[in-house]
Amino acid sequence: MTEGTGPDETVRHSKVVIIGAGFSGIALGHALLGSRFTDFTLLERADDVGGVWKANTYPGCTCDVPSNLYSLSFAPNPDWTSTYSTQPEIQRYLAGCLDRFGLRPHLRTGVDVTAAAWDEAAQLWRLTTSEGPWTAQVLVSAVGPLTEPKLPDVPGIERFRGTIMHSARWDASHDLTGERVASIGTGASAIQYVPRIVDQVGELLVFQRSAPWIMPHDKRPTTPEERERYRTNPRAQKIDRAKVYVSKELLVAGFAKQPKIMKVLSRLSTKHMESQVADPTLREALTPDFTLGCKRIVPSNEWYPALQKPNVTLVPEALSEIRERSVVGSDGVEREVDTIIFATGFHVADIPFADRVRGRSGELMMERWKGSPRAYLGTSVPGFPNFFMFLGPNTGLGHSSMVFMIESQVEHVKNAIRALDTSGASAIEVDQRVHDDYNATIDKKMATTVWELGGCTTFYQDANGRNASIYPDWTFRFRRDAKRWRPEAYRLTTGADA
Give SS3 for 136. strand
Averaged pLDDT, 397-412: 97
Note the pLDDT of residue 349: 66
Same domain, 117 and 59: yes
Three-point CA angle 131, 137, 140, nearest 5°: 70
Is 121 contained in some domain? Answer: yes
pLDDT tens sequence across 213-265: 999 999 999 999 999 999 999 999 999 999 999 999 999 999 987 767 788 89
Whether 237 is in a domain gets the answer no
Dihedral in degrees, nearest 10, Cα atoms 86, 90, 96, 102: 180
pLDDT at 149: 85
**pLDDT value at position 170?**
96
pLDDT band at 151 (very low <50, low <70, confident <90, very high): confident
Identify the pLDDT of residue 145: 80
DSSP summary character for residue 62: B
Are residue 169 and residue 308 in the same domain, yes or no?
yes
Q: Return d(Cα 276, Cα 304) in angstroms, integer.
A: 6
The C-alpha atoms of residue 183 and residue 190 are separated, in whole angstroms, by 7
Q: Give the pLDDT score at 181.
A: 99
- Answer yes or no: is 338 within a domain: yes
- pLDDT band, very low/low/confident/very high, at 193 (cuts 50, 70, 90): very high
pLDDT at 496 over 80: no
How far is 55 from 107, CA to CA, in rounded Å?
A: 18
The count of domains in the chain is: 2
* In the chain, % of residues over pLDDT 70: 97
Q: Are residues 364 and 407 in the same domain?
A: yes
Q: Are residues 352 and 335 in the same domain?
A: no
For the stretch 92-149, pLDDT in tens is 999 999 999 999 999 999 999 999 999 999 999 999 999 999 999 999 999 988 777 8
Q: Is residue 426 part of a domain?
A: yes
Model confidence at 370: pLDDT above 60: yes
Asked whether residue 10 is domain-assigned, the answer is yes
- Of the residues 342, 368, 393, which one is the last residue of a structural domain? 342
For position 7, what pLDDT does the model report?
39
Which pLDDT score is estimated for 41?
99
Q: For residues 329 and 317, is the Cβ–Cβ distance under 8 A? A: yes
108, part of any domain? yes
pLDDT at 461: 87
Are 174 and 152 in contact by the 8 Å Cβ rule? The answer is: no
The whole-number average pLDDT for the span 269-289 is 98
Boundary-marking domain end, from 311, 342, 373: 342
At 1, the pLDDT band (50, 70, 90 cuts) reads very low
Q: Are residues 76 and 119 in the same domain?
A: yes
* Domain assignment present for 230: no
| Same domain flag for 312 and 351 | no
pLDDT, mean of residues 298-304: 98
Cβ within 8 Å of residue 330, ≥6 positions away: 317, 318, 319, 320
Residue 460 confidence class, pLDDT cut points 50, 70, 90: confident
Mean pLDDT of 159-182: 97
Q: How much is the CA Rg of the chain, to the nearest whole Å?
A: 23
Regarding whether 478 and 353 lie in a shared domain, the answer is yes
Arithmetic mean of pLDDT over the chain: 94
> Which of 55, 249, 80, 240 minimizes the C-alpha distance to 145?
55
Whether residue 2 has pLDDT greater than 80: no
pLDDT confidence of residue 4: 43
* Same domain, residue pair 326 and 197: yes
| CATH number of the structural domain spanning residue 102 | 3.50.50.60
pLDDT value of residue 287: 98
The gap between the terminal CA atoms of the chain, to the nearest Å, is 27
How far is Cα 26 from Cα 107, in angstroms, rounded to an integer? 10
Ranking 147-161, 185-199, 340-354, 402-416 by mean pLDDT, the lowest is: 340-354
Q: Which of 342, 359, 394 is the last residue of a domain?
A: 342
Q: Is residue 92 part of a domain?
A: yes
- Identify the pLDDT of residue 259: 67
Q: Could you write out the DSSP letters of every residue in 238-299?
A: HHHHHHHHHHHHTTHIIIII-GGGHHHHHHHHHHHHHHH---HHHHHHTS-SS-TTSS--EE
pLDDT at 323 over 90: yes
Residues 337 and 401 in one domain: no
Longest dimension (CA), the chain: 73
Q: Is the pLDDT of residue 5 over 60?
A: no
412 and 316 belong to one structural domain: no
Per-residue pLDDT at 463: 84
Q: Are residues 108 and 194 in the same domain?
A: no
Q: Name the pLDDT band for 3 (thresholds 50, 70, 90).
A: very low
- Domain of 307 in residue numbering reads as 157-218+243-342
- The predicted structure's pLDDT at residue 163: 98
Q: Are residues 330 and 198 in the same domain?
A: yes
- Residue-wise pLDDT tens digits, 41-85: 999 999 999 999 999 999 999 999 999 999 999 999 999 999 999
